[in-house]
Chain A
Amino acid sequence: MGMSAQDKMLHVANRLGLTTLKDMQGTTRMVYDSQTTAALTHTFFKGASQRAFPLTNVGANGNQFQVDEALLVEKIAFFLPSDATGISYGGLSNVSVKFDLVIGNKTVIKDATIEFGGEQAFWNDGTAGSCVLDLEGVGILIPPQVEYYVVAKTYDCFTRAAVSVRLGCYLFGTGALLNFNTTI
């Protein structure tokens, strides 16, 4: 039987010496960041503490989780903000994305692509092309207080030419929230 998401979180946390993560509140968590200035290359989450809702949901901690909070990334997706406000957004629409995910000083996903309309072997979303990459295996853990970011480049999925677009990214998976198990 494969390892569960919770098992992997606790295994990695234990290896990192995070002995109290097992006592924290389990949750489903997602973080997103969006950049509403069109560009060929986007770096997400780095500097996100300078942005506010609805551009991002990371808050003042920016691109690291606070003590005893973590996210096991199980899905990564990209989206296109509709305008400079970042309120509305849509699917990738013929745009594909090539990206790296970096946690700490380590590249944990390298030159991966989300090809617009990919994952159709699994996707059950009517006529919409998938913009989501499901991570193989159990997922990748972003531990507490370790910086993470995503570098993404966009291109036309047909011509393979670089295209300048607004872009957003979310990381979704099983999480842990700080839970004081004692009165303070």
Chain B
Amino acid sequence: MANQVQKLSYVDAKLGVGLPGQQTTRVIYDSINATAGQGFYEFFTNFAGKTEFQTNLTTNKLDSAESMVIKSIQLIGFFAGSPTPASLSDHLNLNITVGNQVVLKDFDPSFNGSNRGFSFDRLHSGYNNADNLEVRLLTDIVIPPQVNFKATLQIASGANVVLNDDITIVLKGYGRIFSAGASF
């Protein structure tokens, strides 16, 4: 079975990306400041007016010589509703689309929220937090250069979301960034 380095090279080569690039660990994130009652969120599609701590991208694609493998997905929520705030440990429905293709479909990461005893991944199960969870994927999913991607999230407790609640998605994994390999 190919490891993530081999898979990234394979997919990039199939897509005609020739430059070797600098190997790296890549982390990309986007956050959405919610409106009251918002139950559906679309990440990596709107970057207008966001600070560098709300997103580290300016467009919903990686640069021409950059690519990455998604190895883990983290969701971070800030919920201030009272008396019952929304929660990322209630059911969720997460989809990730790369190009026109759904690569993660109807996934419910909430089972990794809190230490309730049914996490997918024991590496992350000991962290007892209902609003900060991470799931390690079993498969390597590649985001190639210059291909649009987005993530959509539906949260079951959306009715408890109040204005200025915040949800952040973080995609982490092995990646490549541009390396000219020569002086300009």
1/0 per residue, CB under 8 A from B, across A12-26: the answer is 000000000000011
A179 close to chain B: CB less than 8 A: yes
Q: Which of the 9-residue segments B16-24, B85-93, B171-179 touches chain A?
A: B85-93
B138 partner, pick from A25, A77, A174, beta carbons under 8 A: A174
Q: How far is the CA of A132 from the CA of B123 in the complex (A)?
A: 14
Chain B nearest CB: distance from A184 CB in Å? 11
Contact: B101 with A179, CB < 8 Å?
yes
Q: How far is the CA of A177 from the CA of B119 in the complex (A)?
A: 23
Q: How far is the CA of A29 from the CA of B141 in the complex (A)?
A: 12
Within 8 A of B (CB), among A73-109: 74-75, 77-79, 86-92
Interface centre among A7, A26, A129, A170 (most CB of B within 10 A): A26
Q: How far is the CA of A74 from the CA of B106 in the complex (A)?
A: 18
In the complex, what residues of B have CB within 8 A of residue A41's CB?
Answer: none
Contact: B102 with A7, CB < 8 Å?
no
Contact: B139 with A123, CB < 8 Å?
no
Q: How many residues of B are counted as interface, with CB atoms below 8 angstroms from the partner's CB atoms?
A: 35
Q: Which of the 9-residue segments B44-52, B74-82, B108-116 touches chain A?
A: B108-116
B41 close to chain A: CB less than 8 A: no
A27 close to chain B: CB less than 8 A: yes
Chain B nearest CB: distance from A175 CB in Å? 8
Contact: B141 with A27, CB < 8 Å?
yes
Knowing that A27-B139, A92-B117 touch, tell me 12 more A-B residue pairs with CB under 8 angstroms.
A30-B108, A57-B108, A86-B91, A91-B118, A124-B123, A125-B122, A125-B126, A129-B117, A132-B119, A170-B118, A172-B111, A177-B103
Contact: A88 with B157, CB < 8 Å?
yes
- Please judge, given known A-B contacts A125-B117, A130-B117, A132-B118, whether A27 and B103 are in contact too, CB under 8 Å: yes
Binding site for A on B (CB under 8 A): 1, 87, 89-91, 93, 101-108, 111, 115-120, 122-123, 125-126, 128, 135, 137-141, 154, 156-157
In the complex, what residues of B have CB within 8 A of residue A92's CB?
Answer: 117
Contact: A29 with B105, CB < 8 Å?
yes
Contact: B115 with A126, CB < 8 Å?
yes
Chain A nearest CB: distance from B99 CB in Å? 10
- Please judge, given known A-B contacts A27-B104, A28-B104, A130-B117, whether A54 and B128 are in contact too, CB under 8 Å: no
Q: Report the nearest A residue to B120, measured CB to CB.
A: A172
In the complex, what residues of A have CB within 8 A of residue B118's CB?
Answer: 77-79, 91, 130-132, 170
1/0 per residue, CB under 8 A from B, across A21-47: the answer is 000011111111000000000000000
Contact: A54 with B102, CB < 8 Å?
no
Chain A nearest CB: distance from B127 CB in Å? 9
